[in-house]
Amino acid sequence: MDLTFILPVRNRRQWMRRAADSCLQNHQPCFNVQLLILDGHSTDGTWEELVAAYGTDCRVKLLRQGTEAGFMGACFQAIPLVGTPWATFMYDDDVLSPYWHLLARRVELSGMSFGMGLGVKSPVNKLSNFRAPQKWVRIAPSDLLRGYSDAAKWWRPDWLPVSPICCLTQTEFLREWANAVRIFSAQNQFRQEYLIRRAAGPDLMVYLLSLLRSQGHVAVLRAPIAQFSEHDETISGSSGEDELALGYWLARVWLAHQLKREARPEATAWAGWACHRALLLLRDRWKLGRFHPSLAILREFMLMRSLFQGEELNSWRAHFLKRFIPRSMRIPEPVRAETVDLS
């Protein structure tokens, strides 16, 4: 299997080599790792150190970011340059497990088109003690999509990740993802602000689109394969939980629109949940006296109602239960697991 890790960097000199090395250490005889690093015109010596460390490494391609600024700009620039059939993103302060390649092996051996593992949070100045995964789960992609709805928390597993460093997807899915993010965010300033400028939500869209396009089953390793480094300058740390909630809600709004375009039967359930969630977001902001961006949320709500005109969105719970979650799934952790030798 040939895989490219896409690693945007900017002014993270103290952490970026740790991130890059954790990608390269997963290079195996049967798992060819390519590392595509895009530097966003760092001013702290990051670029010079990258050139010194990886300038002669044939597995690493070093580039300076073009005119489209920001983290999402780097992602959009990188995807057309990927020459491998598999790819995912890496962050310049996070760390991959030395056993990350076992996810790729499981996906390849099972003939699947998408796979994911778990993540663990840790302070940025510490390293997690990763262990080799021993158990994997085979789940239908439609079942995982239901988990990502955020509506059925009474059964939803807590371990569902949103960061792309925990997943392995096909490059063609990422190309479609880039187009989807661009087109959806271009519709109004609200989406542009959260999805592009703040980069809150596109990470979840990688999972949603990959699951939407996957056939058969998805491989899930039930062990941490990546570390999310916590500090104030991360995307999540600088945005805050409240802002991330808006971005992730927009990602799910996108999915409702996409399901509607593809005339999928679960579209109404997703739209009903998105409308219900919009009202909760508005209520929470009004209680706190935070009226921005209430008008933008209300506009998204009205657009959803207009798109699904004539369909009963008010009974979204009924739609969700009857059409969205089969009876066999109504258990706390709806997975079929088996212990396998991944060594």
Residue pair 120/166 in contact (Cβ under 8 Å)? The answer is no
Length of the chain: 343
pLDDT at 159: 67
Give Cα 167 distance to the centre of its chain: 8
Tokens of 108: 């390849």
pLDDT at 336: 36
pTM for the complete prediction?
0.89
pLDDT at 268: 85
pLDDT at 130: 94
Q: What is the DSSP letter of 117?
A: E
104: closest CA among 127, 85, 82? 85
Residue pair 121/228 in contact (Cβ under 8 Å)? The answer is yes
Taken in order of first residue, the domains within the chain and their CATH numbers are 1-93 (3.90.550.10)
pLDDT at 328: 37
Give the Cα separation of 262 and 76 in Å (integer).
25
pLDDT at 324: 44
Angle, to 10 degrees, between the axis of helix 235-261 and the axis of helix 267-287?
A: 140
pLDDT at 338: 39
Residue-wise pLDDT tens digits, 131-150: 998 888 888 998 888 888 75
Angle, to 10 degrees, between the axis of helix 70-78 and the axis of helix 171-185?
A: 140
Q: What is the DSSP letter of 99?
A: T
Residue pair 253/300 in contact (Cβ under 8 Å)? The answer is yes
Which regions of the chain are under pLDDT 70? 150-159, 232-240, 310-343
152: closest CA among 268, 324, 335, 337? 324
Element (H, E) at 96: strand 95-96
